[in-house]
Amino acid sequence: MLKNLFKDTLQEILEAELDNHLGYKKHSPEGNNTVNTGNSRNGYSKKTLKTRFGETELSVPRDRNAEFEPKIIKKYETTSNQLEEQIIAMYAKGMSTRDIEDHMRDIYGIDVSATMVSNRMVWECK
């Protein structure tokens, strides 16, 4: 169950990183005309990540110019660097989902919805 929480959190972070890299959100009209941005989304690559919960398959978003470098999980990394433990530990220590969201923004410069964290933690703990 926690494996799914971690996977979903990482997936959200990767999407937010690409949004930040391109300068517009997914499905935004700004992305329809790549003349303005010079770059656009270009599907996904599969990546298998080893965690303490077993292997997790991620879909890493790509850009057309192949300039996107994920920060949370680097291109050639195959382990999670205890990121899943950090997220679970923050929740277990009683941090609110808002605090976790702020913490992820401060450390990684990305937005993780507090609602998404809350929904996943409640669902996973059942």
The residue-averaged pLDDT of 64-85 equals: 82
What letters, b where the CB count within 10 A reaches 16 and e where it falls short, cover 61-91? Answer: bebeeeebebebbeeeeeebeebbeebbebb
- The number of folded domains in the chain is 1
Gap between the Cα atoms of 40 and 125, Å rounded: 38
Q: What pLDDT is recorded for position 35?
A: 57
Give the domain extent around 45.
2-125
User: Can you tell me whether residue 51 is helix, strand or coil?
Assistant: strand
**pLDDT band, residue 109 (cuts 50/70/90):** low
Q: What is the pLDDT of residues 25-68, one digit of tens each?
A: 888 877 666 555 678 889 999 999 988 778 989 999 999 889 99
Digit-coded pLDDT (tens) for 3-26: 777 788 788 888 888 888 888 888
Q: Is the pLDDT higher at 53 or at 124?
A: 53
